Amino acid sequence: MHHFLKETDFSLEQAQEVFTLAKELKANRLNGPRALNQQSWGLLFYKSSTRTRISFEVGVNELGGYPVVLNSQTTQIGRGETIEDTARVMSRYLHGLVIRTYGHEIVEAFAEHASMPIVNGLTDFNHPCQLYADIFTLLERYSPEAMDIASLRGKKVAFLGDTACNMANSWIHTAAMFGMDITLAGPDGFAPSATIDAALKADGLPKNYRITQDAEEACQGADVLYTDVWVSMGNEAEAEERKRRMAPYQITTELLALANPNAYFMHCLPAHAGEEVSQAVLDSPQSIIFDEAENRLHAQKAILAKLVELNR
Ligand code: CP
Ligand code: NVA
């Protein structure tokens, strides 16, 4: 069974096909291929969501499938039914399952015991669907006709703020996969963990990301400035300390001015204006945050269609 738990679960060639298909699906949103033809897909949430929930629910519907939205607390998972049994039972009803949860081992356990494709809709470790939408959004600008992933090579990404979070890990993995250059800037004590280094090694990818505590150094000459919330879901108890320690890494117009003149500001959203990014940057012409959000729909439809094709 082919799952999508991390960015590299598609080869470069398959990823290229996903982006090409996403472009077609975007251009022809309601009359595209009905790749899920009467399949029922579960969308299981252990955490809050706006974009992931809506884009998958709408996307499954537009592909001719039926979305079943589930919450861990209101299923028997919340009362202790094992993942092993849950995955087996759900596989008897559903044709695929998108999961947003805490520990990455939860999606891995579902993938081990399910007999349907599992899609990672965010874990504490990574957020690969977001990254495919982000890369698609950049390809619309760097290579609008061919959507050629080669156009990403050498592009400089600066990731500021919580450099140990799921989005930072996903950007490290994605940059290595597509040959992008990435520098992360955040406070001491928030360096990426050994888990992401092990994930790169397992994929035979180079560990060539840079980490600094100097926000200006990271932004100098960057093509993409990226940030994420300072308090991810599950980190609420550390909120005040995180906000204090990460304050020097707010993306401001001054930092944006250090980047390439045609650099883009990106954020997976939700954003907290005045924390990780200023309102002026969110509103600037260089900000492409709402295209990113929209592209969750098109990129994820292409991911689902690709999984159906690969698992045929
Ligand atoms: N970016 C993202 O995954 O948003 P949601 O938490 O709203 O799904
Ligand atoms: N790092 C954030 C991403 C939200 C889409 C979180 O995990 O809460």
Tens of pLDDT, residues 279-290: 999 999 999 999
pLDDT score at 201: 98
Which of 45, 48, 49, 102 for a ligand 1 pocket mutation test, highest count of atoms within 8 Å of Cβ?
49
> Which is catalytic among the residues 124, 129, 130, 250?
130
Token look-up 């029922």 returns 40
**Domain ranges in the chain with CATH number 3.40.50.1370:** 7-127+293-310, 130-290
pLDDT tens-digit readout, 234-243: 999 999 999 9
The SS3 call for residue 293 is helix
> According to the CATH classification, is domain 130-290 in 3.40.50.1370?
yes
Q: Take atom 8 of ligand 2 and give the residue whose Cα is closest.
A: 232
Is the pTM above the cut of 0.95? yes
How far is it, in rounded angstroms, from Cα 165 to Cα 180?
A: 19
Which CATH code fits 7-127+293-310?
3.40.50.1370
Q: How far is the CA of 294 from the centre of ligand 1 (A)?
A: 11
- Ligand 1: residues with CB < 6 A are 49-52, 122, 130, 268-269
How many C-beta atoms surround the C-beta of residue 66 within 10 A?
13
Closest to 163 in 3D by CA, of 234, 107, 99, 214: 214
Q: How far is the CA of 31 from the centre of ligand 2 (A)?
A: 32
> Of all helices (H) and strands (E), which one includes residue 266?
strand 264-267
Strand order through the sheet with 66-71: 66-71, 40-45, 96-100, 118-120
pLDDT tens-digit readout, 103-119: 999 999 999 999 999 99
pLDDT tens-digit readout, 154-182: 999 999 999 999 999 999 999 999 999 99
Looking at ligand 2, which atom is closest to the CA of residue 51?
Answer: 5
